[in-house]
Structure 1
Amino acid sequence: MDSIIDLATRAGMALKAKGLLLATAESCTGGGVAHAVTEIAGSSEWFDCGFVTYSNASKTRLLNIPAAVIAQYGAVSEEVAAAMAEGALANSSAHASVSTTGIAGPGGAVPGKPVGTVCFGWTCNGKTFTERLVFSGDRQAVREKTVIHSLQGLLRHLENA
């Protein structure tokens, strides 16, 4: 399995090769994806900015997600993950984005969304992709798995772009 640093390095190389800038929009990871990519020397060449929008109000204020969308689908939903990824692009100079929103635990579960539920969004070349997964483990494990999957998804979407 690839380490977070290996994945971040590969993502950076792919972004740089395509001349793209990345933005992140994160909730449950608290900036973990942005932290991972900025661990890479030279990341200023391909990383624009990150939004940590932990509260619903910040998702609305910083990423322009309508409160009605959050109310209808819940903050942990593919719809909100897509809106977060698109909002990161709309509010930055980036060309590609990744978003995370989930329930890392130990509390926060709701019917149909157990602890470990994470929704992802990726926007690249004008297309947005989403995914919902349920990870096992404690809070730290869920957050780490989320960062890893975010970067794996980014690489996959960049390769297909």
Structure 2
Amino acid sequence: MSRPTAVDVIRALTERGLTVAVAESLTGGLVLSELVSVPGASAVVRGGVVAYATELKHDLLGVDAALLASGGPIQACVAEQMASGVRARLGADIGLATTGVAGPEPQDGHPPGEVWIAVAWSAGVRSVRLELGGDRTAVRRGTVEAVLDLALDGVGGS
């Protein structure tokens, strides 16, 4: 079976009457760009927040500042709080989030390709750890593909 695409996500959201918002770090807006490239996306996409700097994850998305200070931005609970935060702040049914290291250098002891993605919806929050190979572009593309796949879990679970 092929990987879900933005078309699949927009179609599923539209069929179920749901909306989505995206919180991005390492992907820098690529997830939202993929979603809004689909005709009809404006009916279901609420918007997105690119919180590339660590402090913006707290300031804009409500990620716990103590959590960020103690463990940094590359952990499951940060991705989960980003997804929940963007969902609440943008008034969406589903929130998606990406955080991790695109490379080429490690960050805070985490190797390039270590990524956390999350989806938040009415039933809860789910995060997934990715270990992606390749250069910076490949890591970012792989993250977009994986979070679109995870989005369908949120759409189906809502």
TM-score computed with the length of structure 1 as normaliser? 0.92
5+ residue gaps, structure 1: none
**Residue pairs, 1:1-161, within 5 angstroms:** 2=2, 7-111=5-109, 113-161=110-158
Alpha-carbon distance in structure 2 between the residues aligned to 1:56 and 1:109: 12
Deviation track 1:58-85 (CA, whole Å, cap 9, x = no partner) reads 1111101121111122101101000100
Matched residues, number: 158
Tell me, which stretches of 5 or more residues in structure 2 are unaligned?
none
1:32-82 per-residue CA deviation (whole Å, 9 max, x = no partner) reads: 100000000110100001000000111111101121111122101101000
Query: Which structure 1 residue ranges, 4+ long, deviate > 2 Å from structure 2?
Result: 108-111
Query: What is the root-mean-square deviation in Å for CA atoms of aligned residues?
Result: 1.5
Contact 2:18 2:155 in 1 (8 A): no
TM-score, length-normalised on structure 2?
A: 0.94
Q: Distance in 2 between matches of 1:150 and 1:81?
A: 11
The whole-number CA distance in structure 1 between the counterparts of 2:121 and 2:84 is: 10
CA distance in 1, matches of 2:63, 2:108: 21
